[in-house]
Structure 1
Amino acid sequence: MRLLLDTRSAASPSSLAGQGSEVGDDDLTRLYAWPSDGGVRANFVSTLDGSAAGGDGRSGSINTDADGRVFHLQRELADCVLVGAGTARAEGYRRGATPIFVVSGRGHLPESLSEGEGSVVLVTCASSGLEPSDEVWVEGDDDVDLRTVVARLRDAGMPCILAEGGPSLFHDLLAAGLVDELALTIAPRLVGGDATRVVAGTPLDGASGLDAEIGHLLEEDGSLLTLWRITPVA
């Protein structure tokens, strides 16, 4: 894997002067480390023609080896994973070492996460009819209050939050001003069709959208792996 750009390190200038340098495991850990105060980082993969999924409707079908390597590293570095129930169901999520918080307004936990080792919490709202417990967080009345959820995760000692989608949840997190960073892999593929982009929903911040600043750019076998800082709305 080659480092093409790193704007966060004083040792690497904000230019392509370091183009072509190889990065090892320690370098990747540094590049994908969360800021000292944590934050919400979204992680997505997209094709060259802007699709967040392959022809089967799954992001897993457009993953590359480089993207998979970074995906697993970010999970190791994160305190928790935040994911929509639809994405967890479509991608066949399983329990693991990193706690998973599944957002579902209807209060439905995907079957693949109902059993096994590892922590899973269902995050829902009062309209689901579920009672709150250690395994069920009820935040909000008719919709899940994501601001409260993120604050609660921080208060619970999990400030490094990895949001893995789907596109609708990512939209809602962006609209609420909760996303600090976006890790986006651009896979060297074209799939066509009408698949959803990484953000699905109404226009963000009116007509102007949200700005982002690049943190780093990596390349391996045609895959471009980027990390962006989302500029807060003034």
Structure 2
Amino acid sequence: MTDRLIPLYPPTHPEPVQLTHLYRDLPLPVGEGLFVYGNFVTSMDGRIALGDGLPAQAVPGTIANPRDWRLFQELAARADILISSGRYFRDLKAGRAQDILPLGHDFTDLVKWRDQQGQAPQPDVVVMSASLDFQLPALLLEQGRRVWVATVSSAPAEGRARLERQGGRLLDCGPGPRVDARLMMQRLAEQGYRRAYSVTGPWVMHELLRAGVLDTLFLTHRLRITGGADYATITEGPLLDPPADFDLAHLYFDPEGDGRAGQLFARYDRQAG
């Protein structure tokens, strides 16, 4: 299996490029503000997760693949902090989540690379939750990460006390009922963070889009149609008004995929204004 990708856009680099380190070495903005980016793998019919015949929706094995997973981890290696959700930790406790949060134990080269850049071995974590009905895994703190909990001022006092005992650092981000994503980003920027990577699901993505704080979206388009009646797309929630407009920044074709269906690796940058 080759490690080469075919560049499709922009049309200035016609020669094949290497998949490994494609996103690790990708130029990303560096400034005083917080650069926010997210990532999904999706089927041609828009499925990022399926629940048909399962206890809960999950990324289906028909679209997940090691090549996309490698790039997911490379994007995590670029982050100062990962954006997660209370739902993720509930799924993790129930055994339905993919990992304890990147970087995964199979990607020691990326941990080493972070060390060479003067970064901690693992990115910090911020958990968005208004209800606070989840537990923080001890492993996160044992890895030396700072774990923030972005919540609302009306959040239950019992949940606040429990998460603080577990080592969480609470950030009040609006009165509720939802966490104010724009205020959360301001709070994180005040703590010195410059790159935040959303590694959670479509409801958090909707909040990031609604608040206008998502700068870049990386999408892996598997060239495969899955169907399924119980599914999620890249964003779930009320109509976005105005809609979020993006420009295509790059597009690569990976003919390998899993040896059958190939995939496209795309980067979309949000239009200003």
TM normalised by structure 2 equals 0.72
1:135 aligned to which of 132, 146, 169 = 169
Amino acid at match of 1:225: F
Moved more, 113-122 or 170-179: 113-122
1:42 aligned to which of 27, 38, 47 = 38
2:75 aligned partner = 74
Specify whether residues 210 and 74 from structure 1 end up closer, same or farther in structure 2 by C-alpha distance, changes over 3 A only: same
SS of 1:171's equivalent in the other structure is helix
Q: CA deviation at 1:180?
A: 0.5
Tell me whether 1:30 sits opposite 2:25 in the alignment: yes
> In percent, how many aligned pairs have the same letter?
25
SS of 1:75's equivalent in the other structure is helix
Once residues 8 and 188 of structure 2 are traced to their aligned partners in structure 1, the CA distance between those partners, rounded to angstroms, is 32
Alignment of 1:60-99 (within 5 A): 61=61, 62-90=63-91, 91=97, 93-94=99-100, 97-99=122-124
User: What are the Cα deviations for residues 25-78 of structure 1, in whole angstroms up to 9, with x where unaligned?
Assistant: 4544233x4212251101111111101113441126332112101011011111
1:10 aligned partner = none
Once residues 17 and 28 of structure 2 are traced to their aligned partners in structure 1, the CA distance between those partners, rounded to angstroms, is 21
SS of 2:47's equivalent in the other structure is coil
Q: CA deviation at 1:165?
A: 2.7
Moved more, 168-177 or 34-43: 34-43
> How many residues were matched structurally?
220
Moved more, 81-90 or 194-203: 81-90
Amino acid at match of 2:239: P
Specify whether residues 152 and 173 from structure 1 end up closer, same or farther in structure 2 by C-alpha distance, changes over 3 A only: same
Tell me whether 1:157 sits opposite 2:163 in the alignment: no
Q: CA deviation at 1:191?
A: 2.2
Specify whether residues 140 and 60 from structure 1 end up closer, same or farther in structure 2 by C-alpha distance, changes over 3 A only: farther
1:53 aligned partner = 49
Once residues 44 and 157 of structure 1 are traced to their aligned partners in structure 2, the CA distance between those partners, rounded to angstroms, is 26
Once residues 89 and 230 of structure 1 are traced to their aligned partners in structure 2, the CA distance between those partners, rounded to angstroms, is 31
Once residues 87 and 193 of structure 1 are traced to their aligned partners in structure 2, the CA distance between those partners, rounded to angstroms, is 22
TM normalised by structure 1 equals 0.83
Moved more, 175-184 or 88-97: 88-97
Runs of 5+ consecutive residues of structure 1 not aligned to the other structure: 7-13
Specify whether residues 27 and 44 from structure 1 end up closer, same or farther in structure 2 by C-alpha distance, changes over 3 A only: closer
Q: CA deviation at 1:156?
A: 1.2
Amino acid at match of 2:41: V
1:181 aligned to which of 216, 234, 240 = 216
Specify whether residues 121 and 60 from structure 1 end up closer, same or farther in structure 2 by C-alpha distance, changes over 3 A only: farther
SS of 1:69's equivalent in the other structure is helix
Once residues 164 and 183 of structure 1 are traced to their aligned partners in structure 2, the CA distance between those partners, rounded to angstroms, is 11
Once residues 65 and 19 of structure 2 are traced to their aligned partners in structure 1, the CA distance between those partners, rounded to angstroms, is 18
CA contact (8 A) 2:6 2:16 kept: yes
2:110 aligned partner = none
User: What are the Cα deviations for residues 167-198 of structure 1, in whole angstroms up to 9, with x where unaligned?
Assistant: 11111110111010001111233221231110
Once residues 179 and 191 of structure 1 are traced to their aligned partners in structure 2, the CA distance between those partners, rounded to angstroms, is 28
